Structure 1
């Protein structure tokens, strides 16, 4: 039982590092794309690039895409639980 607890603790730490890395990467990518959109002429906010990017990132913070990154925690745990079930009970 202690080995299982150790596995889940290690998994949690690794998944947290992966989640933070994916979140930072996704936010930077979105920021870059917003800057490119502004530079191409999408000037809804006039010539204030920072305001345009800030508004876009606020929209991104509430987006479904950002919430999908939380699957980094769910999918591996479900897969491990399924493997444990199949190995022990079938």
Structure 2
């Protein structure tokens, strides 16, 4: 039981590192795209406000997908493997 607990804790830590890394990387890529869009198309108003609003919209749309992809899917796969290995 201790081995399972250790596996779960280390897995959660590893998945958290992956989640934070993906979140920061995707946010940086989106920021670059918004800044390029501003430079090419708009050029009037406040650039920082445009980028900030774009990132707020992006964060709202991406967070749920990242949580699903990073935490839920691997947990279900590992649970299924353990179940199949032990009970089938």
Partner in structure 2 of residue 77 of structure 1: 75
Which whole-Å CA distance do the structure 1 matches of 2:50 and 2:18 have between them?
Answer: 29
Q: 1:3-60: CA deviations, max 9, x gaps?
A: 111100000000011100001001101100000111111x2x8242111101111111
Q: Partner of 1:46: helix, strand, or coil?
A: coil
Partner in structure 2 of residue 21 of structure 1: 21
Which whole-Å CA distance do the structure 2 matches of 1:28 and 1:67 have between them?
Answer: 18
Q: Normalising to structure 2: TM-score of the pair?
A: 0.91
Which whole-Å CA distance do the structure 1 matches of 2:16 and 2:32 have between them?
Answer: 24
Q: Normalising to structure 1: TM-score of the pair?
A: 0.89
RMSD: 1.3
5+ residue gaps, structure 2, are: none
Equivalent positions of 1:31-50 (< 5 A) are 31-41=31-41, 43=42, 46-50=44-48
